[in-house]
Amino acid sequence: MRPAIFFDCDGVLNEEPGGHGVLGPDDIRLIPGAGRAVRTAREAGYLAIIVTNRAQVAKGFVTLTGLETIFARLRELLAQDGGIVDAIYFCPHHPEQTPGGAPEFQIACECRKPGTLLLRRAIADFGIDLGRSPLIGDSLRDIGAGHAMGLTSYGVRTGYACRDVERYPDRAPPVPDRMFADVGEAVAFCVAHPAKHGQAGQPD
C-alpha cells in the first residue's frame, strides 16, 4: 500500500479567485511553490491526489467539458515545476436548486466535502495507506472530510485559511491538526515528519 497526500485545489494549489470561483483555464493562477510542493511529495514516495468540490457545474457556470480544460491547465502549470498529479477527484454537485443550473447535479450527495466519497474512491482505486496519508486544505470542509476518514488534516493560510467557521452554525467546527503558511510548507512538514500521520484530530 502506498501513502498519498490529498490536496484541495482552489486556495491550496491555485489561488481562490472569489466570486463564482474558477470558471475557465485562464482563471488558474498557481500559488507560488505549488508545483514544487507536488514534485516534493511525489519524490518522497507519496501519490499526489486532488479532491475538490466543483459546485460551478451544478450552478451552470461550468460544463463537465469545461471542467476538463480547467484541470488540464492546472496539470500543465504544476508540471512546469515537476509537479505531476496522479489523479483528480471532483464533486460536481450542490444541494441548492439554482435557476439556470444543471438539475441533474443539483442534488445532495456523499462526495461534496465534508462528505467522504471522493476520498473513499481514491483510497479504493489506489490502495492507499491511510495511516501514512495526510490531507492539505484551506477550508474547514476539507478538514472535516479528512478527519471523517481518520486522516491527519493540515490547514494552510492561503485561500480561506480555514476561517470559514460560518459553515458550522450549529456545531463546533473541525480543527486542523496543524496550520502552515502555504502548501509548500505543509508538504515539507509531511515529508520530514511522516510519523505524525494517522493521529487525526490530535494537534501538536
Q: Which residue has the cell 472530510?
A: 145
Beta strands in 21-160 (DSSP E): 47-53, 87-91, 135-137, 153-156
- Contact criterion met (CB below 8 Å) for 190 and 5: yes
Q: Which three cell numbers stand for residue 60?
A: 451552470
Could you tell me the sign of the dihedral formed by the alpha carbons of 201, 127, 159, 168, in that order? negative
Q: Which of 10, 86, 138, 182 is catalytic?
A: 10
129 labelled catalytic: no
Angle (CA) 199-201-204 rounded to 5° is 75
Q: Which of 8, 86, 138, 142 is catalytic?
A: 8
Please report, as a single letter, which amino acid is at residue 119: L
Distance CA 77, CA 98 (A): 32
8 labelled catalytic: yes
Q: Which residue has the cell 443539483?
A: 106
Distance CA 171, CA 66 (A): 36
DSSP tag of 86: S
- Contact criterion met (CB below 8 Å) for 83 and 34: yes
Q: Which three cell numbers stand for residue 105?
A: 447535479
Catalytic positions, written as ranges: 8, 10
